[in-house]
Amino acid sequence: MINDIRVGGLIAYCSVKRGNKKTLMFIVFVLSLIFMNLVFLPSMIGGMTVLFTGFMQDYPYGDIVIEPSGDNTYINNADNVLQKVRAVEGVRAATKRLDAGASIEHKQKVVGATITGLLPTEEYDISQYPYIISEGDFLGELSRDEIIIGAMIAGTGFGSEIYDNLGEVRPGSLVDVTYSNGVKRTYKVKGIMEGSFELVDLNALVHYKEIEEVYGLEESKATSVVVRIDKQGSEEQVQDKIREAGVNEQIFTWADKSETLIKQAMQSMGAINIMSKFVSLIVGAALVLIIIYINVLNRKKEIGILKAVGITPGSIVLSYAFLSMFYVSLGILAGLTLYFSLMLYFQANPVTFYETMEIRPQIDPMLLIQSIVTMLTLSVIAGTLPAWSVSKESILKAIWGR
Amino acid sequence: MIIVKNLKRYYGTGETAVKALKGVSFEINKGEFVAIMGASGSGKTTLLRILALLDDATDGEYTIRGLQVSSLPEAERSYYRLTQVGYVFQDYALINEMSAAENVYILSMMEGKSRKESYETALEALDKVGLKGKHNRVPDELSGGEKQRVAIARAIAKKPDILFADEPCANLDTNNSKQVLEVFKELNEKYGQTIVMVTHEPWHTEYVDRVITLEDGNLVNDEKKKEVKNNPYVPHF
Ligand SMILES: Nc1ncnc2c1ncn2[C@@H]1O[C@H](COP(=O)(O)OP(=O)(O)OP(=O)(O)O)[C@@H](O)[C@H]1O
Ligand SMILES: [Mg+2]
């Protein structure tokens, strides 16, 4: 066995050393593309995931979100919950929100939207809402007949072509809102918010008290209590502490929340991802198989000679295993170089979606390792099979073709 | 040391079978340099391949030094080919991507010799065939005669019991042929190497001790040109 390895190594070494360098470069180039293909798309999707989870934290869920337990529509006595939560160590800020379904009308144009009732002054510490007003101003403590409209439904933001919108709504325009319980209100648009994210730009914001009043709610009801923490990564500890503090509603971390949401959003992406990985692996394996197969056919006579002079079939097969490992290792190295250069490029020049959503690909070491191992394994198998089948042929047939 | 009894080799079966060897018997002694001659299609190559364990006989017995080699399993035959039998092909059969030294060296590696020992063995064998200083050349950089001498070096480096050569000079001009035959003769005379060589050319027989002639699958003539030194001990190099 040791001899087989030494001799296999020698054969492979000579074949690389004196083989055609152009062919070698071409093979390595193609393999590097296959490797790239294997890791690039998942990295982009990873970047998207990071972006989306960021959105989840910055807008609907904070770091931790408390939602009504059981079938309840509302958290009862959210102020009580807030009081408990704010006392928990590691909590930086918390606020309550009331979400409601509504339709918004402006000059005969109607769109459906979720309207979130929030406490404007508290939101500065909680979310990015106050910071993404592209026109006009954010709500104030006294804003009662005023509304903030997402850019996509306002008809000014990017993506307006895709969704129904209100035409050109600007700060100062008047809109009529019909809530899900039939109550109608007229609001003056105070600002347009543009977060480059559908969950934000397709929504509208009013003061918490508006929703409370429209739905006739009392005793500080809330559809969610949004919590921000001091230290990223301590979500779960804080979550436990909140529970220990006697909050009996459902408590989620942003990760819990995003997981379901992103899972849904990414499902189609994931399918494409898996498909593309699968296809590149098949193509890669087929390529290595073809390369080695042609190589083996070209050298069928040599294989016969080697056998005739007493070289074991094991060494011959091993030499091809080494060869394909060598090709693939070079391919992976070249692929990694290409990959990291592209990563650097995209870090500096992120892909933009909806004009402002910047996607920076994420490097996932596990994915890289997994891809490297898969490619090596597949190629060694693909590279060894043809050699194995020829090395089993009779010497006479291999050398003299009969 | 080689005993062949009633060796037969049929290609195909039944009525259409080609009877390449119809039952040949002979013995070859240690230290002999034997030429196998005969017309084209008389069965020379067929016989040599069986003797070198590259092919199986259909029937008959074949023993080397008392060992019934015709019935060995393939792995052992492979080992025997590696360690005891040298074979020189008509068209050199060198590995083009390997230098002269590597072509020889690889067999010692296979035998389990160390890198250094293998290399020294290879150089020694290349010296013997007169290729000193050319061991780093690849086959493409060598003449036909030189290539054939590399092939001979590869076959003798392991110091085989018997060296087989199938028309080793068929692709060579007279000059190169003479060089190759001289090498054989020297190996035979100086080191007592047993050699069995297939050839067409009558003038090649000047170099050998004995000529076996085949005709249509039968041994028709066995002529000892000089009484060979069937001495009990020939110093093996
Ligand atoms: N694989 C094979 N299948 C069928 N017939 C074969 C095969 N190999 C050889 N033969 C036949 O066996 C006979 C002997 O062939 P062999 O090659 O041994 O002749 P040879 O004496 O070496 O001839 P040459 O001088 O032309 O090399 C020939 O009739 C040949 O056609
Ligand atoms: Mg022949």
B199 Cβ contact list (under 8 Å, min separation 6): B35, B36, B37, B167, B169, B205
Q: Which residues pair with B224 in a beta bridge?
A: B210
Query: Is the pTM here over 0.80, yes or no?
Result: no
Min Cα–Cα distance to chain A from B56, Å: 11
Residue A140 CB neighbours (<10 A): 12
Q: Residue B227 pLDDT more than 60?
A: no
**A contact residues 110-169, partner B, Cβ 8 Å cutoff:** none
CB nearest to A312's CB, from B78, B96, B97: B78
Q: Which residues pair with B86 in a beta bridge?
A: B163
Contacts 24+ apart (CB under 8 A), A59-62: A59/A127, A59/A128, A59/A129, A59/A195, A59/A197, A59/A199, A59/A200, A60/A199, A60/A224, A60/A226, A60/A257, A61/A224, A61/A226, A61/A252, A61/A254, A61/A257, A61/A258, A62/A94, A62/A126, A62/A127, A62/A226, A62/A227, A62/A228, A62/A254
Rounded Cα distance between A179 and A176, Å, is 10
pLDDT of B138 reads 93
Q: Residue B103 pLDDT more than 90?
A: yes
The token duo for B110 is: 């296979």
Q: Which helix (H) or strand (E) holds A192?
A: strand A184-193
What average pLDDT does the structure give for chain B? 88
> What residue in B sits closest to A20 (Cα-Cα)?
B97
CA Rg value for chain A: 31
State in Å: Cα B20 to ligand 1 middle. 6
Q: Report percent pLDDT > 70 for chain B.
A: 95
What digits encode the pLDDT tens for the residues B124-150?
A: 989 888 888 898 999 999 998 899 889
What digits encode the pLDDT tens for the residues A83-134?
A: 888 888 888 999 999 999 999 988 888 888 899 999 999 989 888 888 988 8
What digits encode the pLDDT tens for the residues B17-39?
A: 899 999 999 999 999 999 999 99
Q: Residue B235 pLDDT more than 80?
A: no
Q: How confident is the model at residue A226 (pLDDT cuts 50, 70, 90)?
A: very high
What digits encode the pLDDT tens for the residues B59-81?
A: 999 998 888 887 888 888 888 88
Q: Residue B237 pLDDT more than 60?
A: no
pLDDT of A173 reads 85
Min Cα–Cα distance to chain A from B227, Å: 32
CB nearest to A14's CB, from B54, B82, B98: B98
DSSP collapsed to 3 states, B95-142: CCCCCHHHHHHHHHHHCCCCHHHHHHHHHHHHHHCCCCCCCCCCHHHC
Q: Residue A266 pLDDT more than 70?
A: no
**ipTM of this predicted complex?**
0.82
Q: Residue A210 pLDDT more than 80?
A: yes
Q: Residue B233 pLDDT more than 50?
A: no
pLDDT of B226 reads 67
For chain B, percent helix, then strand, then coil, each to nearest 5? 40, 25, 35
pLDDT of A231 reads 83
Q: Report percent pLDDT > 70 for chain A.
A: 94
Q: How far apart are the first and last CA of chain B?
A: 17
Q: What number is the average pLDDT over the span A349-358?
A: 71
Amino acid A383 reads G
The token duo for A136 is: 């006009």
Q: How confident is the model at residue A10 (pLDDT cuts 50, 70, 90)?
A: very high
State in Å: Cα B139 to ligand 1 middle. 28
pLDDT of B200 reads 87
State in Å: Cα A302 to ligand 1 middle. 22
The token duo for B220 is: 């028709």
Q: Which chain B residues are within 8 Å of A19, Cβ to Cβ?
A: 97
**CB distance B40 to ligand 1 below 6 Å:** yes
pLDDT of A158 reads 62
pLDDT of A301 reads 84
**A contact residues 293-312, partner B, Cβ 8 Å cutoff:** 301-302, 305-312
**Which residues fall inside 5 Å of ion ligand 2, going by CB?**
B 45
Q: Residue A64 pLDDT more than 50?
A: yes
Q: Residue A394 pLDDT more than 90?
A: no
pLDDT of B163 reads 93
What digits encode the pLDDT tens for the residues B161-216?
A: 899 999 988 888 888 889 889 989 988 998 899 999 999 889 999 999 999 999 99
Q: Is the CB of B95 less than 8 angstroms away from the CB of A307?
A: no
What average pLDDT does the structure give for chain A? 84
Q: Is the CB of A309 less than 8 angstroms away from the CB of B98?
A: no
pLDDT of A356 reads 62
Q: What is the DSSP letter of B87?
A: E
Residue A175 CB neighbours (<10 A): 22
Q: Which helix (H) or strand (E) holds B176?
A: helix B174-191
Q: What number is the average pLDDT over the span A358-363?
A: 80
State in Å: Cα B25 to ligand 1 middle. 19
Residue B99 or residue A60, greater confidence: B99
Q: Residue A195 pLDDT more than 50?
A: yes
Q: What SS3 class is residue B208?
A: coil
Choosing among A21, A24, A303, A309, which should be mutated to test the B contact, i.e. which has the most B CBs within 10 A?
A309
Min Cα–Cα distance to chain A from B82, Å: 4
Q: Residue A159 pLDDT more than 70?
A: no
Q: Which helix (H) or strand (E) holds A54?
A: helix A21-56
Q: Which atom of ligand 1 is nearest to the CA of B49?
A: 18
pLDDT of B234 reads 44
**CB distance B217 to ligand 1 below 6 Å:** no
Rounded Cα distance between B126 and B122, Å, is 6
